[in-house]
Every structure is written in C-alpha cells, then in structure tokens.
Chain A
Amino acid sequence: MNKALLAIAIVPLVAAVATWWTPAVISKTITICSGIAVFVLGLTLIPSATAHAYLSAGPALRVDALSVVFLVPTTFLYATTAIFSVGYLRPPEGEAGRRYARRFYAGLNVFCWSMAVAPLLNGLALLWVAIEVTTVISVLLVAIDDTDRAAEAAWKYVLLASLGLGIALLATIFMYYAGSRVFGSSYDLSYGKLLSGAHGFPKGIVRLADVLAVLGFGTKMGLVPVHTWLPDAHSEAPTPISALLSGALLATSFYAILRFFQISVRCLGPTFPRTVLLVFGLASLVLAALYLLSQRDLKRLLAYSSVEHMGILAIGMSFSAPIAIVGVLLHVIAHGAAKGTAFFGAGSIVRKFKTKDMLRIRGGVGLLPWSGPMLVLAVLGLSAMPPFGIFRSEFLIVAGGLSDPQDTVAAVLVVLVTVAFFGLSWFTTETMLTPVPERERPGVARGETSRFIVVAMLLGLAGLVVLGVHVPGQLSGLLHNAATQLEAAR
C-alpha cells in the first residue's frame, strides 16, 4: 500500500469540499496548499516508480513509470495555476462574486483531481471514467463566465468531447472483447492483465480498438480533424482553466492513447499503432502551423500552438528510435510548463489591456516589466528555443526521427515546426515589443496587476529552464523506464 499514491487521490477532493464551504480567502489558501502538496507527493513517487515495475494501493490504484511521467505536469500546473488564479480572478463584489469564487475554486480542485487521478487508475475502464469526469467538470468551468461566447464554446466542447468519449468507450469495449479470447467472458480491464495477455488477442479487433481510441481520446487531445472545439474552449474559458486545459488535460488524453498504444504494440507489433498516430499527428501539425499564421486572438494563438504540440507528440510516437519516445515523454512535461506560463502571461495581458485582440495590444514588455518579458520567453520556449525544455525534447524527437529508415517524416516535422515558430513568435513579439508612446495609451499605467501572476510565471519558467539545461537524474531515469515499458514487445 503506497501512502503517497492514496494521498494524491484524496487531497484535492478534500480541498474541493473545503473550498465550497469556506470564504474566498481561505479557499485560495487551501487550493494553493493542496496544489503544492500534490505536486510534492507526485515527485516523491519518481524514485520508487523508477526502481519498481509498478506501485499500487488497493486494486484500483496502480502507477508505473509512464503514469508518473504524466502526473508531473498535471500536478505542477495544479500548483502554479492555483497561485496564478489568486492574482488573476477579479470576481465582482457581493453575493454574485462570492458564488463565482466558490464555484471556481471548488471546480478547479475537482478538475485537477480528475486529471491527477486518471494516470493512477488501474485499467482502461476506470481511466475512461476519470477522463469523462474531466470533461464534465471542465465544461462547467469553460462556461463559468456566462457570456454568449463562453456558452457557445462550452456547447461545442461538451458535444464533441462527449461524442469522442463515446467512441473511446466503444474502443474500451472492443478491447474487452479482444481480451475475452484469453481471459474468458468475465475479467477486469487492469493493465497488468491486458499487457500479459495482449499477444494472444485477436488482431483485427485490437486494430479497430486502437484506431477508435486514437480517434475518441484524440478528440479531447485536440488531434485534427477532431480538434474543432479546442480553440474555442481555450480562448473563452477563464485563463487559469485555459492553462490547465492546454497543459494538463490534453496530456491526460494522450496518456489514454498511449495505454492503448502499449497494448496494441504487444499484440500487433509496432508498425500499425505507429502509423495511426503518424497520420493524425501530421494532419494536426500541418493544420495548426497554417492556422498559427492567421490568428489575431492571443489565447486562440496559444490554443493552436497546443494543437501543433499534440501533433508533434503523435508524430514522435511514430518514430522507432527509443530516444524519440524519451523525447515525447519529456515534451509532455516541458509543454505543460511552457504552455502554462504562456497562458499566465496572456492572462496578465488580458488584465492589463482588457482585450485578447493582438492588434490592439502594443508595448506589452514596457508596460508589464515582469510578466511581459516572461511571456516573450515562454513563447520562445514554446518555439523550441534553447535553453528551454522544449528545445531538448524536440531535439530528441527529431534526432530519433533522423535515425529512422523513413527520415523524410523528421524533415517534414522540422519544416512545419519552423512555420509554426514563425506564426507564434511573429505575432507575440510584435504585440509585446512594439513600443508605444505614453500619450497613445491613456489609462494604461506601467506596472504588474498582481504579484501572484509573476510568481506563477517565474515558477513555470524555472521548470522549463531546468528541463532544458539539465534534466535531473531521477527524472531522466523515469523517462527512460517509461519509454522502455511503452515499446516493450512482451
């Protein structure tokens, strides 16, 4: 029985209940404490998850190296978003504001709980349930601002995500059907069992389950062509929620895809599951790179950058070199830190200029002495500039791709990433660095809107630099372990 594991599954829920009943000041503190506690607990799992094949607590909780890799960015964003929210939220005075804050903080805790618990659960069925919970709660959080645009974004999100998860459930049932060949008509879908018996599953059904899983969970991950909800939800949600959607929720859906990938590799060999991911990944990267060239809305720009990075992850999984898989897993963590920081910066801009329209924002760096430059750095980080973590992870992915027999894919990847870099950095640097004379910006004074926003961004950037300059030895061991588990043939 692993106590840290159990605590991660319980603490955010307790925090959610507590924030519902306490006044705003206390619920902010509770949320931050819970976020930091869960992040630290997650870190303590790294050494033991590297040393052992898996850890468990009861029949329902089981983590291996792969689970912990996904736990790290989610809990990191939980902690930083909690800090950011304190500085960002400006609920109106009075009863309406109190109700808003209560819903927001309780929702934030439940949302982070569902995302943290998803990789801890043992089995495909429970994983599906957890991901459905992430949808239900995040839809409400997207709609929480109660504007026409938020309502529209939430409706598109709930409809598409529910349909996607309907398909994902079908994939889970087909996997059960495949497993019934080996285990008979009554068994649970736990990973240990599925992985041990996968080589005996009927191949046709596993192929179908794999494609349906990529399509279904891919809807929530933002893979083209089922990504259409993503830019709307990311741009209309409150900014803390955008950061979580982009940095953590997409990764959680990717985790579900990887579990199907892992089982499919054991049953079918690597070629088929890799090809499926390659097709979706290329489509996502092409479309996102083009859309990045034509965005005016700062948060939409970052949302399309998420589609781009999810495409990179999917393509990275299609390379045969183990180093590419390590790169993909590092990319998940680095993208979480970078995208979180970038959204925090966007939130700071929105608070300062009261608009997301990049044509109406000028001189961001001059007016926001801390968060302005940090937003520029985060965007450079997202564009894979050294010394940030995404540089390292994309380097590993491309290096793996070039050692692949089909190295044209790696070349295409580099070209598309460059196009995306152009779109992303052109617009943001123009917005942030174009100086504005004092008389042309009446009412906008120089200075930060909140210290909490600055702290959250500093933490995010620090994480990103650590991943870029020197990946800590234990984390590196964890990534290699997880990569080996993913690709293991038996």
Chain B
Amino acid sequence: MPHAAPSTFTGSADGIAILVLLTEFAMLRAQLLSSQVRLYAFQSLVVTVLAVVVAATRHIDELYLLAALSFVLKVVIVPRVVLRLLSHAEVDLAGSSAFGVATMIAIAIAASIFGFFSIGALHVQSTALPSTALAISVAVVLVAFVLIILRSDVVSQAIGFFSLENGVSVASLVVASGLPLIVDVAFLFDLLAAVVVFGVLMRIHHRRTKTLSTEPLDRLRG
C-alpha cells in the first residue's frame, strides 16, 4: 500500500512528539535534580510550540491563548518553584535508584517500545488526526512511570508526574484540540492546583525529614 507524504501538521506533530520523548529519556539520565528541572522546562517549551503549530495549521485561534498560559505555567512557574525548593534544601543529587543509569534506560526503552507498538496494534487509521504522535505520547507516559518508580526522591517523583502530564498534553493537542477552550483551561487550572499541592507537600516533607529522599516514607504499611 503506497503511503502518502505526511502533511505539514502530521509531520511537525510527529517530530515534536519525538523530541518530547527524547527529553523524557534525558530526564531519566540526569543525575542532578536541577538539570532534571531544566529538562522539564525545555520539554514544556516543546509542548507549547506544538500548541502553536496546531493553532496555526488548523486555524484554532483559542489555542494561542492556551499556549501562552501553558508557557507561563509550565516553562516559567513550575521550574522556578521547584528550583527554589532545591536551593532552599541545598540538595542537588538525585536519590539513588535501585538500578544503574544503563539499566534504567534499557527498561525505559522497553516500556516505550511497548507503548508505541500497543497503540499501533489497534490498527486505527484516522484521516483527521495523526496516530503516530499519539503512540509516541503513550510512550512518553510510560517512560515517566519508569522515572517515578525507579527514582527515590520527592523532586524526581513530582517532576515525573509533571512530565507525564506533558505526554498527555501532546496526546490531547494532536487528538483533542477541538475540545472547547474552557475544558483546556480547566485542565491547566487543575495542573496549577496540583503543582501547588506538590510544592506544599515537598516543603512539608523537607521540613519534617530534612531530606528529599523518599526513604523515610516507610512508616505506614500493612
């Protein structure tokens, strides 16, 4: 079956989704928490660019507003909040993980291959929407899970969740950009609230345990 060349929209969406996935891998590799946060800021910037691309190619003007909001929140505010916490805590080395970096990357590659092909196996071809970018965004979500599970400090876990949200944003931009703006704004508002709560709890954790490691969190079990 001959394939038609991808449209500008599909091509750029796929390219940007790949960039988001690569950033996720870089975060998994990063040993310094501050570089992890900077990588997250970069990833969010890439997602914002995707929002602009979608707005321009599909002529959805509201998405420009969404892109602006997401830029302010995810590229500026979230990284700043976390970096301030880091400088306050005077810790920068990520918590030791159960596996070495090479093993973590190998697990993440396996997870992303699984995500990519399991979406591919659904055999959905849509003329209106790019399915490759959708499959990649599922891979991003799975790699974020690997990051959260294997890292043992609260900052990595929080950043892991925020980047998971970036993966879901990519999926939502390529697939559901036709949703009413109010819903998108509500999503962002929710993320903002979640960021505040994560920030508050990270502070409480640091104040109570004097560390960012999750090792003291083993009192409740059974």
- How many Å lie between the Cα of A129 and that of B201 in the bound state? 21
Check B141 against A170 for contact (C-beta < 8 Å): yes
Q: Which of A159, A185, A204, A291 contacts B178 (CB 8 A)?
A: A185
Contact between B126 and A166, CB atoms less than 8 A apart: no
Selecting from A186-194, A330-338, A358-366, A409-417, the interface stretch reads A186-194
Distance in Å: Cβ of A307 to nearest Cβ of chain B: 13
Is A180 a contact partner of B198 (Cβ separation < 8 A)? no
Residues in chain A near residue B164, CB distance under 8 A:
163, 166
Contact between chains at A129 and B194 (CB < 8 Å): no
Complex: A158 Cα to B141 Cα, angstroms: 17
Is A125 part of the binding interface, using a Cβ–Cβ cutoff of 8 Å? yes
Q: In the bound complex, what is the Cα–Cα distance between A208 and B164 (angstroms)?
A: 18
Chain A residues with CB under 8 A of B194: 132, 135-136, 158, 162
Scan B116-144; emit 1 where CB is below 8 A from any A CB, else 0. Answer: 00010011101011000010001001000
Verify if B168 is at the interface (C-beta below 8 Å from A).
yes
Known A-B contacts A148-B219, A166-B141, A170-B138; the reply to A154 vs B201 at CB < 8 A is yes
Interface of B is mostly: helix
**A152-B219, A180-B126, A185-B129 given; A133·B168 CB < 8 A:** no
With contact pairs A154-B201, A173-B175, A235-B220 given, residues A162 and B154 touching in the complex (Cβ less than 8 Å)? no
User: In whole Å, how far is B86's beta carbon from the nearest beta carbon of chain A?
Assistant: 17
Closest residue of B by beta carbon distance from A176:
B176
A151 touches B122 (CB 8 A): no
Contact indicator A155/B217 (Cβ below 8 Å): yes
CB distance B220 to A153 under 8 Å? yes
B168–A136 touching, CB < 8 Å = no
B61 beta carbon closer than 8 Å to chain A: no
Q: Which residues, 175 to 209 on B, are CB-close (under 8 Å) to A?
A: 175-180, 183, 186-187, 189-190, 193-194, 196-198, 200-201, 204-205, 208-209
B128 / chain A contacts, CB cutoff of 8 Å: 180, 184-185
Name A's interface SS. Answer: helix
* Nearest CB of chain A from residue B34's CB, rounded to whole Å: 21
Contact A173 B172 (CB under 8 A): yes
Known pairs A125-B183, A126-B183; A177 contacts B220 (CB<8 A): no
Query: B14 to nearest A CB, angstroms?
Result: 16
Q: With the chains together, A132 CA to B196 CA distance in Å?
A: 13
Contact B178 A139 (CB under 8 A): no
CB under 8 Å from chain B, chain A span 150-176: 151-156, 158-159, 162-163, 166-167, 169-170, 173-174, 176
Q: Does A205 belong to the interface (CB within 8 Å)? A: yes
* Residues of A that sit less than 8 Å from B by CB: 125-126, 129, 132-133, 135-136, 139-140, 143, 146, 148-149, 151-156, 158-159, 162-163, 166-167, 169-170, 173-174, 176-177, 180-181, 184-189, 202, 204-205, 208, 231-232, 235-236, 291, 294-295, 300
* Pairs across A and B, CB under 8 Å, 30 listed: A125-B179, A129-B187, A132-B194, A135-B194, A136-B190, A136-B194, A139-B197, A148-B208, A151-B204, A154-B201, A158-B197, A158-B201, A163-B145, A163-B148, A166-B141, A166-B164, A167-B141, A170-B138, A173-B168, A177-B126, A177-B129, A180-B128, A180-B178, A185-B178, A186-B177, A188-B183, A204-B124, A205-B122, A208-B119, A294-B222
